[in-house]
Amino acid sequence: MIAPEPFFEPRGTPFSEYFRIYALSKLGHEIDLVTYPIGKNVDIKNLKIMRSRFPFIKKVKIGPSFKKIPLDISLFFKSLISLLKKNYDIIYTHEEASYFGVIFSKIFRIPHIYDMHSSLPQQLKNFRFSNSKFLFNLFSFFERKVLKNSHCVIVICKDLENHAKKFTDEKKIIRIENFLDFPQREIGEEEKEELRRKLGIEGKRVILYAGTFEPYQGIEILIKSLKFLNIDDKIIILIGGKEDQIKSMRSLAESLGLNQKIIFPGEKSPEEIPLFLSIADCLVSPRISGTNTPLKIYSYLKSGKPVVATNLWTHTQVLNPEIAILCEPSPEGIARGIETALSDKGKEIAKNALEFSRREFTEEKYLSLIESALKIAINNFQSKN
């Protein structure tokens, strides 16, 4: 497996990679993961982490960046050396490492699985990396080649599935949403009250967001939505964000006179998030752009708390009015959604969401889908050889 990301870090694609590896291990497979020299080691049975070397870069931001170029070059050669030393049954790549995967598959005659977490050309626009038409067309060309030449394409949402079908045989495509989560421990009332005391929010109704602070996440309109709420008994907790991003959002809150109503706990580990979710009265995903389903949506639905999400395709390919409060992507719209979530209707919707997630988001289903992806790759490889 080749992963061009910091592994492990608590953010989208590394989360997905973690659970892909977990599933492969549970199915009895051995995984050699070639990844960046950045991130925290994790303990999963049958996993060996092999890090490329590039000592001058200590962190990588989410999305496209120039820092990824030398890291990806180093990753390419680390992967090549590994393939020369050992016989593998499958090459499994994520994101731009799929370019390597297609090449290695042809050289070493091994089936290749491409785990498509996003459309890389689209990332150039979503992260405002470049407006270059040439660069966009170049990335689009490589993406088409990868989709056409991979033996199995895993997509994480309906939007990517529809996109991939334009360029490759739909029989090679399998949708595996990122609904698997870390084991949940029982959280007692005393522990919840202790966190409330620590945060100084006793007696307050908690509106919570957990995720990154990238522009497309809509954190600004979430903060501005408080101006349209009766906030005397409410507090908002915004988990995540880098130091500079938190500083920017804190400045916005202060300019609106809302700094006493917003708490910025910073980034939290996957083990800490469930405790924060447990003290929330509603959970919010205010995303304003993009087409992939936010990873947080799956844990939100499992929480038993009402979910407020913008009424955009990024959410509605999974959510519907029966299991979430869908609102317009504006401060006024989010405010109305939060008011609904804090009503009796919100409790009913939360109950529906919990039942839905228990039925649809099972580990058995996830393992079965991963096993199917392996079979698709092997069968397509054998039919072409």
Instruction: Give the pair of three-digit tokens for residue 254.
Output: 């202060």
Share of the chain above pLDDT 90, in %: 85
Q: How far out from the chain centre does Cα 84 lie? A: 32
Q: Is the pLDDT of residue 127 over 70?
A: no
| pLDDT 10s digits, 37-54 | 999 999 999 999 999 988
Q: Is the pLDDT of residue 236 over 70?
A: yes
* H/E run at residue 155: strand 152-155
More confident residue, 183 or 365: 365
Domains of the chain with bracketed CATH:
2-180+363-384 (3.40.50.2000), 189-360 (3.40.50.2000)
**DSSP secondary structure string, 184-233?**
PPP--HHHHHHHHHHHT-TTPEEEEEES---GGG-HHHHHHHGGGS--TT
Q: Are 59 and 38 in contact (CB under 8 A)?
A: yes
User: What is the rounded average pLDDT of the residues 3-9?
Assistant: 94
Q: Which residues touch 153 (CB under 8 Å, ≥6 apart)?
A: 113, 114, 116, 147, 164, 168, 172, 173, 174
pLDDT tens-digit map of 331-360? 999 999 999 999 999 999 999 999 999 999
pLDDT at site 126: 64
pLDDT of 33 strictly over 70? yes
Give the model confidence (pLDDT) of 97-106 as tens digits: 999 999 999 9
Give pLDDT, residue 124: 74
Burial class (CB in 10 A: 0-12, 13-18, 19+), 296: buried
What is the pLDDT averaged over residues 195-223? 95
